[in-house]
Amino acid sequence: MELTTGIKGHRTEVVTEDKTAAARGSGALEVYGTPSMVAFMEETARKSVEAGLAPGLTTVGTALNIQHLAATPIGLTVTCESELIEIDRKRLVFKLTVSDKDGLIGSGTHERFIVDSEKFLAKTNAKKS
């Protein structure tokens, strides 16, 4: 697979207690937390392009612009859909939506960069010395 605009991702997950705002510390209520939704969005985008990357390459998230529009209770399934809408050399931009059975609960855009895993980790770990 080659990276081209239009690549889509689709994932589902069940809202469990550990994914609530109360559990993640972003709020006090037992509803799907924004940090969980953000991680779900990033994972959906990342996995959608994995097969198109050369061995040793991965993507890292660098920017998010999202809205969390509606609450979802524990036990419901949420679905994330991503679409790769822009490629600028190593920069990838995704359009994202998250829905539950009643409709849209979140949307936005997400930017990721293609990196060489070994070089990225070496540079990061060099901060320790």
DSSP conformational letter for 86 = E
Measured CA to CA, the distance from residue 91 to residue 111 in angstroms comes to 7
Residue written as tokens 């040793």? Answer: 56
Strand-pair partners of 12: 79
> Of 42, 72, 81, 111, which is the active-site residue?
42
- Residues 30, 34, 83, 109: which is the catalytic one? 34
- Nearest C-alpha neighbor of 94 from the set 12, 34, 6: 6
Please indicate whether residue 118 is annotated as part of the active site.
no
Cα angle vertex 28, ends 25, 30, to 5°? 100
Residue type, 111: E
97 is a catalytic site residue: no
Residue 42 annotated as catalytic: yes
Catalytic residue among 68, 81, 110, 111: 68
Task: State how far the alpha carbon of 45 is from the alpha carbons of 64, 78, 126, 127, in Å.
Answer: 12, 15, 28, 28
Q: Which residues are identified as catalytic? A: 34, 42, 68
